[in-house]
Chain A
């Protein structure tokens, strides 16, 4: 257990609570920078995908995990980001402009879609966002003069001031930097009034409104910023896979994004990163560990998806707070050793909550 003697309110709004926390994050970043030296190209490419999915995950986390609004249409923003970046770079716009532009385009579309539907709640909102995503997907298919329709389009290698991100390593570093920036921006929003307003809306819309929080405005802002980050991820995604067509951005993709934030742990930025690690690495892990299984299991068809699905179910069953929740508990266990009890994290059941206000 550590105690921090505080002498200034500024200490409480700092990014890192302890100096050691900063040190560990720095070590983590350095580790990521050095990682390409020891792993092969394929794994590196998977790491890049983790960064890209984590960026999109941060976007969806702000909307779903912090503001409490479910979206089943986030693949659409990924698509808008991808196409914006692909079209702009093809026209000769530098990547350094195309990257934020893809985020901004996604955010603008997010505002247009979000504003009218965001007074819906829960599953109804989920279905409405899904409907919006269908429309956008269809536009991408039909608007052939720009998107080349179902034929798809090739995407250029991104270049910044003549420096081409044409190798795995370079692109990995690019994605890593973008992820770190996005995490910083998201963290800043969360420790400011807007972030608190998001959480307030999630916890009690009535009270939030009575505090003077404009629900329509803040929900739209949340949707826009979420779309912005997802659009950025879309841009990276397009440049990573070189070739995009509307089929890459289906409802399946939206559900995967949602799964990433739920498995990672709703309501934490860490969760977005953990979730994408889980989603990208677990299938790889299953493939690798397959070699060590008895041959009659190995030869089963469909083993990988089945195991993957099973693991998702198990995480949901035993750790509803997601991977981040498990991480918190583990940390707590060591901080308070040997005082940790099984029920330390158990919530008391409440029955007196009424619907009136």
Chain B
């Protein structure tokens, strides 16, 4: 069943058609990857979902509801969380504060009650903390809990960013190149976590990824795009072995020789 759908989405920047009538369907509870060479328009899709950019044509549907009328900050309220290609953490905060910030959409207090730090605000803080601790436990971040993000190594920062997205309790998680900059071991960990997220938390994952090994290992279905146009959407193996996909990645000549 279709959980998240892109229908004929197009966007252009000046004369450049970044996305040209791309459609794809993500089913509930699956891990779906978007692959394609640099500049194919993968991250642009994410930025359109997040409403950082406005689509020229087409529509995204989440559970049948259109995202077009939502504002950027309302996308989070609809249960869509994301990570960024070049980590966008709050660098001068601790890991814990970053995770608790992920709880923002669950906030029930307002600035006036917070000013006096009334009991409900305190309880809300404790609840956020408990949820953050669950995520710390899930992602093995105990050692870094009270450290400033800016002082952490790249791989850990990536994990914290994933954790912050999880703290939002999303139904759809967008991961923008989750393995870039990670070493083999960290990628392996991530693959396990993705599996757990899918099995235990029931989160649907949509990711942009370059690491084909990782895609093969984790993903259920794949969309391949190039120059803003769909090459093929389908089962992982089918897409990765498709001649047009290999051509887009490796070039005409290499495919002939292979």
Contacts and interface: CB of A to CB of B under 8 A. Distances in A.
Interface of A: 9-10, 12-13, 185, 188-189, 191-197, 199-200, 203-204, 206-215, 221, 225, 267, 347, 352-354, 356-357
Interface string B95-127: 001001111110101110011110001101110
Contact of A194 (B85, B102, B114, B150): B114
Q: Is the interface of B mostly helix, strand, loop or mixed?
A: helix
Given A357-B84, A357-B85, A197 B115 contact: no
A352 B50 CA distance: 24
Interface stretch (B3-11, B69-77, B218-226, B229-237): B69-77
Given A13-B122, A194-B111, A203 B104 contact: no
A74 B130 CA distance: 39
B111 A211 contact: no
B86 interface: yes
Given A203-B91, A357-B85, 10 more contacts: A189-B115, A193-B104, A194-B111, A210-B81, A211-B168, A212-B76, A214-B71, A214-B73, A356-B43, A356-B86
Contacts of A213: 73, 104
B137 interface: no
| The 10 residue pairs across chains A and B that have the minimum distance between CB atoms | A212-B76, A192-B114, A207-B88, A212-B105, A203-B90, A188-B117, A214-B73, A193-B107, A209-B72, A9-B129
B93 A357 contact: no
B115 A185 contact: yes
Contacts of B116: 185, 188
6 contacts: A13-B125, A188-B115, A193-B103, A193-B109, A203-B89, A212-B168
Interface residues of B, number: 48
Interface of B: 43, 47, 50, 52, 71-77, 81-82, 84-86, 88-93, 97, 100-105, 107, 109-111, 114-117, 121-122, 124-126, 128-130, 150, 164, 168
B104 A188 contact: no
Q: A9, A12, A215, A267 — which one has the most chain B CB atoms within 10 A of its CB?
A: A9
Contacts of B122: 10, 13
